[in-house]
Amino acid sequence: WIVGGDGWAYDIGAGGLDHVLATGRNVNVLVLDTEVYSNTGGKMSKSTPLGAVAKFAAAGKTVPKKDLALQAISYGSVYVAKVA
């Protein structure tokens, strides 16, 4: 299992996560998505939804949330599930 937050999966570690997904290895990944950088007090990230208010996005985020699931399934052999 690989477990990480949204800041890691969508931004800081995205290149590493993409590499792991591209290998086709049998690995489970759990992303705990808070939709902000929780360790910096709630700054917006690529997982912050369009229009959401966060630090450095007081008027609302102006670009859509990155679709990490769509990126993952583009490799073809990946199963993706989302829970709320």
Instruction: Give the domain extent around 69.
Output: 2-73
pLDDT at 70: 92
Residue 79 falls inside a structural domain = no
Q: Which residues of the chain have pLDDT under 70?
A: none
- pLDDT of 41: 80
What domain count does the chain have?
Answer: 1
In a domain, 13, yes or no: yes
Predicted confidence at residue 57, as pLDDT, reads 78
What value, to the nearest 5°, has the Cα angle with vertex 34 and ends 39 and 4? Answer: 70
Query: In this predicted structure, what is the pLDDT of residue 66?
Result: 92
Whether the CB-CB separation of 29 and 12 falls below 8 Å is answered with: no
Q: Is 82 contained in some domain?
A: no
User: Is residue 80 one of the residues assigned to a domain?
Assistant: no
pLDDT value for 36:
85
